[in-house]
Amino acid sequence: MHRFLNATAATAAAMSLSLLLAPAAIASTGGDNSDAAKLCQGGGYADYQRSDGTRFANEGACVSYAARGGQLVNLPVVTRSVVVSFATTSNSDFCGVVLTLTGFDPLTSYPVDTVLDRGLPTLEYYPRTVVTDADGAFSGVLFTYIDGPGIYFSSTVDGVTSSKELINC
């Protein structure tokens, strides 16, 4: 019986020692995640997403994810665009002025400055506000305007300006 107790104690001691040494062995073979975590610092988290495509809310979330071995994936490069087009309305004398945005921040409110140019010295401005969807896009009719010759529209959103488009329904 005494020999059984000594063997049991020796086994328990060996298991305890292996549990203490196991994290060191894993860390030394698994590499160092601190370089990846450093990529998140200083605002770098905004350039990366998780391997499942979700974005980081802040620097701490990114650092924590990378430090635990999560794979940082570069965000795809998205070009922001603003496009003005026109849609028919129930009244054939009017056009719907349609604004389409892509590549903007998701779920964000943006002021829109739409300019009407009739070729006169004075331009007309039509300010509006739009909110992008979860993909950073928006498409909708801003307002309706009388369809007539020589009327051009352009819109600017957050420093991005559309081309000048001739109203045409």
CA angle (8, 13, 14) in 5-degree steps: 100
- 87 in the same domain as 69: no
d(CA 42, CA 10): 51
| Residue 72 placed within a domain | yes
- 102 in the same domain as 61: no
- 88 in the same domain as 158: yes
Domain count, the chain: 2
- 159 in the same domain as 90: yes
| Residue 95 placed within a domain | yes
| Residue 23 placed within a domain | no
| Residue 93 placed within a domain | yes
Give Cα separations from 48 to 36, 41, 87, 131 (angstroms). 11, 11, 38, 24
Write out the chain's pLDDT in tens, 169 residues: 444 434 444 444 443 433 333 332 222 224 467 888 899 999 999 999 999 999 999 999 999 999 999 999 998 888 999 999 999 999 999 999 999 999 999 999 999 999 999 999 889 999 999 999 999 999 999 999 988 889 999 999 999 999 999 998 8
d(CA 86, CA 141): 8
Q: Could you tell me the residue range of the domain that residue 118 belongs to? A: 81-166
- 113 in the same domain as 71: no
Q: Is 15 helix (H, G, I), strand (E, B) or coil?
A: helix
| Residue 12 placed within a domain | no
| Residue 106 placed within a domain | yes
Res 163: pLDDT: 97
| Residue 14 placed within a domain | no
Burial class (CB in 10 A: 0-12, 13-18, 19+), 36: buried
Domain end residue (candidates: 76, 106, 135) = 76
Residue 94 forms beta bridges with which residues? 146
- 64 in the same domain as 113: no
How far is the first Cα of the chain from the last one, in angstroms, to the nearest whole number? Answer: 99
Res 32: pLDDT: 67
- 120 in the same domain as 62: no
Contact 161, 154 (CB under 8 A): yes
